[in-house]
């Protein structure tokens, strides 16, 4: 607490009998627990559920992978998410401001720097994929997916990513939509949009699943997702599952810290974290059931890789009765997911620009859009292997893959482990207990104790394994190609 007091004169906090209170005016936040839940879910549910989850589960053999993924969510995802919420809500500041306030040593501020770098690296390639998804909505409306064959599905995807102009235009469209939401502010923008769109997204997924239940492949899809075959497990499968857990729950880069800083002091942070993790997993499973039921009904392989969403899905869905309509529904839901997730990534830096750098929110949003498009365009152009930029590689990765690799495999695990160690070993336990239990109003003693033990002794060890393996992969890659 004395550490906090020391900073009082440079913050907008006041101390009343040792309890830190915030000035009411000046900073926006979510208006209720439900709003906080939907906003956080809007961040978690994204292209990760719709694009990454099905293909990664498909490539790694299904149920055994899922089981490991669930374990990662419980032992890594939840503790890191709760810790990020703690840092955010305790300080009610952007990532850099929060660490400045809480951290006794300047080195902890590196978490903030890692966070911001990771936000940008992810947004650079995420906005490309977001653009493809938007363009598929447009194509579905135009009726481009009528009677799709495997060849035409592939051609369509290649046309989508080949530049220079169309993918860039779609990227500009996505960034513009996200910027407009951000410019409206935390309450009028993020809160209102997620509260409206998340229930719609859920209904659209249910429509796809109801259709899936009528397909012959539905039994096989359940078997694939839920019948565990341990022979499929290997070291690399376990590591993949951990990486996916980070990406899925938007962890390790201050996203949940920033959103946590908008929670009210009445919100139950542990409850919100659990609800978000469970809901996000349900969304992934529902998308998985829809996708794999269609895939198995046409005797296709589930393991077709990143093209599953953009090639296999249009092909199999278009063969169903009302298939083109279903495709439209599916890509609309993917666009919603991509938009709300991207909004959350950008909010990390917007909060920083406006609170630490004193910019107006509008200026911050504009600057952010210019940076994303200025660099993200190169990621988009590099996705086309035949282009000039597609041939340009660093560590034998195209820019698109490099941005994904640096963020998911290096920066997120690094951010995650530092957050776990910081909250687990630097913050006094009493402080954590007080904040998580809302000054004792919530009776969560046993849960908080369990969280604390896992945070200190389980999470960092597991994350360390992911992190090392990422570096190992990098070394191998460098060796392999040098
Ligand atoms: N969770 C989102 C998804 O599944 C992506 C995302 C949003 C994210 N914010 C993040 C990933 C922060 C990592 C870190 O698509």
| Structural domain count of the chain | 1
**175: pLDDT confidence band, cut at 50, 70 and 90?**
very high
| CATH number of the CATH domain containing 101 | 1.20.1740.10
pLDDT of residue 477 exceeding 60: no
Kindly give the number of the ligand 1 atom that is closest to the alpha carbon of 338.
15
Nearest CA to ligand 1 atom 8: 250
Question: How many CA within 13 A on the CB side of residue 82?
Answer: 28
pLDDT of residue 276 exceeding 70: yes
Closest to 421 measured CA to CA, from 462, 450, 381: 462
Of the listed ranges 90-99, 221-230, 369-378, the least confidently predicted one is: 221-230
Kindly give the number of the ligand 1 atom that is closest to the alpha carbon of 246.
13
Asked if the structure places residue 197 within a domain, the reply is: yes
Asked if the structure places residue 5 within a domain, the reply is: no
> What is the whole-number distance in angstroms between the Cα of residue 372 and the centre of ligand 1?
16
pLDDT of residue 184 exceeding 90: yes
Coil/strand/helix, residue 15: strand
Distance (Å, whole) CA 167 – CA 180: 20
Asked if the structure places residue 6 within a domain, the reply is: no
Structure tokens at 225: 């997702």
pLDDT tens-digit readout, 44-56 = 999 999 988 888 8
CB of 43 sitting under 6 A from ligand 1 = yes
Asked if the structure places residue 2 within a domain, the reply is: no
CB of 48 sitting under 6 A from ligand 1 = yes
CB of 49 sitting under 6 A from ligand 1 = yes
CB of 345 sitting under 6 A from ligand 1 = yes
Asked if the structure places residue 4 within a domain, the reply is: no
Distance (Å, whole) CA 339 – CA 127: 9
pLDDT attached to residue 319: 84
Q: Does the reported pTM lie above 0.85?
A: yes
Closest to 30 measured CA to CA, from 243, 347, 254, 293: 347
**479: pLDDT confidence band, cut at 50, 70 and 90?**
low
Which helix (H) or strand (E) segment holds residue 397: the answer is strand 397-398
Share the mean pLDDT of the chain.
Answer: 87
Looking at residues 426-448, what average pLDDT do you find? 96
Asked if the structure places residue 116 within a domain, the reply is: yes
CB of 341 sitting under 6 A from ligand 1 = yes
Could you tell me the residue range of the domain that residue 327 belongs to?
11-481
> What is the whole-number distance in angstroms between the Cα of residue 255 and the centre of ligand 1?
8
pLDDT tens-digit readout, 316-330 = 888 888 888 999 999
Q: Which residue has the tokens 């956080």?
A: 40
Asked if the structure places residue 97 within a domain, the reply is: yes
CB of 380 sitting under 6 A from ligand 1 = no
Is 415 within 8 Å of 81 (Cβ atoms)?
no
pLDDT higher for 323 or 361? 361
pLDDT tens-digit readout, 115-134 = 899 999 999 999 999 999 99
**470: pLDDT confidence band, cut at 50, 70 and 90?**
low
Positive or negative, the Cα torsion across 163, 164, 170, 174? positive
Asked if the structure places residue 107 within a domain, the reply is: yes
pLDDT tens-digit readout, 129-153 = 999 999 999 999 998 888 788 888 8
CB of 281 sitting under 6 A from ligand 1 = no
CB of 44 sitting under 6 A from ligand 1 = yes
Distance (Å, whole) CA 56 – CA 243: 11
């Amino acid at each position: 607490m004395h550490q906090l007091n020391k900073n009082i004169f440079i913050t907008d906090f006041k101390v009343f009998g040792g309890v830190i209170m915030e000035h009411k005016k000046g900073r926006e936040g979510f208006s209720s627990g439900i709003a906080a839940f939907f906003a956080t879910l809007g961040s978690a549910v994204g292209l990760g559920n719709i694009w990454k989850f099905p293909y990664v589960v498909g490539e790694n053999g299904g149920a055994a992978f899922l089981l490991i993924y669930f374990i990662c969510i419980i032992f890594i995802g939840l503790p890191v998410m709760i810790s990020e919420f703690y840092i955010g809500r305790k300080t009610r500041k952007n990532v850099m401001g929060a660490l400045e306030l809480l951290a006794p040593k300047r080195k902890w501020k590196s978490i903030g720097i890692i966070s911001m770098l990771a936000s940008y690296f992810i947004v650079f390639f995420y906005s490309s994929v977001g653009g493809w998804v938007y363009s598929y909505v447009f194509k579905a409306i135009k009726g481009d997916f009528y009677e799709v064959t495997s060849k035409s599905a592939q051609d369509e995807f290649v046309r989508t990513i080949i530049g220079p102009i169309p993918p860039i235009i779609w990227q500009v469209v996505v960034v513009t939509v996200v910027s407009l939401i951000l410019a409206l502010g935390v309450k009028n923008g993020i809160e209102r949009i997620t509260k409206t769109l998340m229930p719609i997204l859920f209904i659209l997924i249910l429509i796809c699943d109801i259709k899936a239940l009528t397909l012959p492949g539905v039994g096989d899809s359940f078997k694939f997702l839920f019948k565990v075959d341990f022979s499929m497990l290997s070291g690399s499968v376990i590591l993949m599952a951990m990486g996916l857990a980070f990406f899925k729950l938007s962890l390790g880069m201050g996203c949940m810290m920033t959103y946590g800083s908008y929670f009210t002091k009445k919100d139950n942070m542990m409850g919100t974290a659990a609800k978000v993790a469970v809901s996000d997993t349900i969304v992934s499973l529902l998308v998985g059931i829809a996708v794999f039921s269609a895939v198995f009904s046409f005797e296709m392989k589930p393991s077709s890789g990143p093209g599953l969403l953009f090639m296999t899905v249009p092909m199999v869905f278009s063969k169903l009765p009302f298939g083109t309509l279903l495709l439209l529904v599916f890509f609309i839901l993917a666009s919603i997911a991509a938009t709300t997730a991207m909004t959350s990534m950008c909010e990390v830096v917007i909060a920083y620009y406006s609170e630490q750098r004193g910019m107006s929110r509008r200026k911050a949003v504009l600057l952010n859009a210019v940076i994303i498009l200025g660099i993200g365009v190169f990621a988009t152009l590099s996705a086309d292997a035949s282009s000039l930029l597609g041939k340009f590689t660093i560590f034998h990765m195209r820019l698109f893959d490099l941005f994904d690799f640096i963020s998911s495999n290096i920066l997120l695990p690094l951010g995650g482990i530092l957050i776990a160690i910081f909250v687990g070993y630097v913050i006094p336990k009493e402080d954590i207990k007080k904040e998580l239990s809302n000054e004792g109003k919530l009776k969560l003693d046993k849960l908080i104790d369990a969280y604390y033990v896992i945070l200190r002794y389980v999470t960092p060890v597991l994350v360390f394994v992911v992190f090392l393996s990422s570096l190992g992969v990098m070394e191998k890659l460098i060796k392999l190609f040098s």
